[in-house]
A and B are shown apart, each in its own frame.
Chain A
Amino acid sequence: MRTYLDFERPIADLEARLVEMKKLAESSNVDVSEAVASLEVSISKLRKEIFENLTRWQRVQLSRHPDRPYTLDYISLMCDQFIELHGDRAVRDDPAMVGGFAELGGQTVMILGTQKGRNTKQRQQRNFGMANPEGYRKALRLMKLAEKFNKPIITMIDTPGAFPGLEAEERGQGEAIARNLKEMFSLKVPVICIIIGEGASGGALGIAIGDRVLMLENTWYSVISPENCSTILWRSWDYKEQAAEAMKLSARDMEKYGLVDGIVEEPVGGAHADHAEMARHMKEVILHTLEELNRLSPEERVSQRIDKFCSMGVVVE
């Protein structure tokens, strides 16, 4: 069963009618092919119309769509081989952060990212995509490993934030993220970071310092979720739509302000509507971007990476 969001309701209704019509045709031998064709056209027209005019909050909803592809989905759809690696070598393995070496378009890359679960059991196991300090330390370990063997790094971000738990604090959540930020600036290999769903705050940034930071079309990336922003500034959960508008957290906004480097288009209807097509396009973008980055020397990459982030910010003097 597909999950439809509120604003997808009109599409869902038409699709239901289409199914009925086809059923009717089968049982009564009436020729409905013309009606079916015209309904199909209006569905795709409606879908295009709805998806061209999404509000920021609707994009936030899409970024959380339960059918959206997650990191491991992209890996299995894009890569010929994947050897998953586990553990931070200190505390434990964090299932909310996954990664390993993969074969992508004929070359070895390190792919890592936050991982959400598909059903209730998996969601709990993956901690809803909220990594603990050991997750960030595992990510750094894998990135250093990639650097050692001179392999490019791809990170995928889809997290509602770093986990705000008791043990996370005991084991230094802040320190773990802070270390990643600093260390990622000196990685000598190419680093591409892609926001594939939710990009919430330091928990996202902790694996998102890259030569290129890209966002999928229907994702968000900001300092806090719209719900939490609403709770703090309006003292109520109800202003999340307004908060989303005020924060300008969509891919288009972030690109416009120069806070990310580019947008990866999604199929009409969103990434969840066609996993295979989404992964195919993403692979194309990654390989193209890697080619670009490989033309630079490690020193050039590092200094451009530093300069790029240092130029972010607007002040009055």
Chain B
Amino acid sequence: MSWFIRKEKGINTPTEMKREAPDGLWYQCPNCKKVMHTREHKMNAYTCVHCNYHEKIGSTEYFALLFDDNLFTELDANMTSADPLHFVDTKAYPERVKSTIGKTGLKDAVRSGYGKMNDLEVTIACMDFNFIGGSMGSVVGEKIARAIDHSLKTRTPFLMISRSGGARMMEAGFSLMQMAKTSAKLALLSEARIPYVSLLTDPTTGGVTASFAMQGDFNIAEPGALIGFAGPRVIRETIGKNLPEGFQSAEFVLEHGFLDFIVDRKDLKDKVTSLFRMLE
């Protein structure tokens, strides 16, 4: 097997001869493992050019994709979590929030704003999964409630982009009541006949699915997104069997009648605008 043996030991290429390949220039799709240019991936709305896998993205990316020229006015940008219960598990809750703010640069798990989408005034709230699993505490509930208030006041359609593991345990009872609060505001929005589109992205589970994410006039989802009330692990433990292939995927949920349609992220802006325009 002599052809495997190096003739010369060590790396001999001089630094100036090495190819320039800065970090982040290439993106490897976690689904099909194929590689593409980061820029190409971004231009493709962060979906894989080979297999159409929808990469998980946050509010910054969605706002850039949806608001014309990325121009929007952010609502309640500085709202952060309090610690009403003085909650301590393996870490004190305020510390956990502080370190997450440091790590992510986000204030909490949702951002909201208003601006133009294909020239149509809209209000959008979008969750960030990076912030403690996109969990819903008082800040998430309050910011969504106020975004709906803004929608009501200006009579602009409301788009909610959900991505969340559910309620935030560190706010216990308070976080549970955010399901009620957001539902109350959506009942008012409904009564005012202002359209509400709920986009469910990967993953949307727990208390978020069981409140505002499933209360849209139109419930839509990104392809392949995991959508459910109970998480797959919990269900597996309950029934003591493996779950069928594709269980709780957006396609499964569509088939069972709980989604209006699945939308490719590249078509999201135009399709949602068309829908809102048809209702004007």
- Docked CA distance A98–B138 (Å): 32
Residues of B near A175 (CB, < 8 A) are 209, 214, 258
Contact of A224 among B167, B180, B183 (CB under 8 A): B167
Report B195-230 residues with CB < 8 Å from chain A CB.
206-207, 209-215, 227-230
Contact B181 A313 (CB under 8 A): yes
- Docked CA distance A164–B239 (Å): 9
Counting CB contacts under 8 A, is B43 at the interface?
no
Contact A314 B167 (CB under 8 A): no
Counting CB contacts under 8 A, is A181 at the interface?
yes
The residue of chain B having its C-beta at the shortest distance from the C-beta of A307 within the complex is: B184
Counting CB contacts under 8 A, is B90 at the interface?
yes
Contact A170 B185 (CB under 8 A): no
Q: Give the number of residues in A that approach B within 8 Å (Cβ atoms).
A: 54
Report A169-209 residues with CB < 8 Å from chain B CB.
169-175, 177-179, 181-183, 185-186, 201-202, 205-206, 209
Find the residue from B167, B172, B235 having the highest chain A CB count within 10 A: B172
What does DSSP make chain B's interface, helix, strand, loop or mixed?
Answer: helix
Tell me whether A229 and B243 are in contact in the complex, defined as CB-CB below 8 angstroms, given that A172-B257, A179-B214 are known contacts. Answer: no
Contact B173 A259 (CB under 8 A): yes
- Docked CA distance A215–B214 (Å): 28
Contact A173 B210 (CB under 8 A): yes
- Of the listed stretches B10-18, B54-62, B77-85, chain A binds B77-85
Report B228-246 residues with CB < 8 Å from chain A CB.
228-230, 234-235, 238-239, 243
Counting CB contacts under 8 A, is A16 at the interface?
no
Residues of A near B183 (CB, < 8 A) are 178, 181-182, 185, 209
Counting CB contacts under 8 A, is A221 at the interface?
yes
- Docked CA distance A313–B82 (Å): 9
Contact A257 B229 (CB under 8 A): no
Binary contact track A282-317/B, C-beta < 8 Å → 1, others 0: 000000000000000000000001100110111111
Contact A233 B90 (CB under 8 A): yes
Minimal beta-carbon separation of B193 from chain A (angstroms): 14
Residues of B near A179 (CB, < 8 A) are 214-215
Contact B177 A259 (CB under 8 A): yes
Interface residues of chain B, those whose CB is within 8 Å of chain A, are 76, 78-82, 84-85, 87-90, 138-139, 141-142, 145, 167-169, 171-181, 183-188, 190-191, 206-207, 209-215, 227-230, 234-235, 238-239, 243, 247-248, 256-258
Interface residues of chain A, those whose CB is within 8 Å of chain B, are 162-166, 168-175, 177-179, 181-183, 185-186, 201-202, 205-206, 209, 221-224, 229, 232-234, 242-243, 246-249, 253-254, 257, 259, 305-306, 309-310, 312-317
Q: List 26 A-B contacts (CB under 8 A).
A: A162-B229, A164-B229, A168-B229, A169-B229, A169-B248, A173-B228, A173-B229, A174-B227, A177-B229, A178-B183, A178-B211, A178-B213, A182-B186, A182-B190, A185-B183, A202-B210, A222-B173, A223-B176, A224-B172, A233-B90, A246-B85, A305-B184, A309-B177, A312-B174, A313-B181, A314-B174
